[in-house]
Amino acid sequence: MFVEGREDNMANLLSATDETFEELVLKSDRPVLVDFTAAWCGPCKAMAPAVEDVAREYEGEASVYLVDIDASQATSQAHKVMGVPTFMIFNKGVPVQRFTGSVSRSKLAAALEAVVEGDK
Give the pLDDT band (50/70/90) at residue 12.
Answer: low
- Sign (positive or negative) of CA dihedral 107, 110, 113, 115: negative
pLDDT of residue 93: 96
Top-confidence residue, 78 or 1: 78
Give me the catalytic one of 13, 34, 38, 44: 44
Could you confirm whether 49 is annotated as catalytic?
Answer: no
Beta bridge partners of 63: 32
pLDDT of residue 10: 46
Could you confirm whether 44 is annotated as catalytic?
Answer: yes
Domain assignment present for residue 1? The answer is no
Q: With left for phi above 0 and alpha for psi between -120 and 50, is residue 89 left, alpha or beta?
A: beta
pLDDT of residue 9: 39
User: What domain range is 35 assigned to?
Assistant: 20-119
Average pLDDT across the chain, whole number:
90
Give me the catalytic one of 41, 96, 103, 114: 41
Give the C-alpha separation, 3 to 110, whole Å: 26
12 burial level (CB within 10 Å; 0-12, 13-18, 19+): middle
pLDDT in tens, 61-116: 999 999 999 999 999 999 999 999 999 999 999 999 999 999 999 999 999 999 99
Residues in the chain: 120
Domain assignment present for residue 72? The answer is yes
CATH number reported for the structural domain that contains residue 24 in this entry: 3.40.30.10
Examine the pLDDT at 8 and tell me if it is beyond 50. Answer: no
Domain assignment present for residue 94? The answer is yes
Pairing of strands 63-68, 14-15: parallel
DSSP H or E stretch at residue 87: strand 86-91
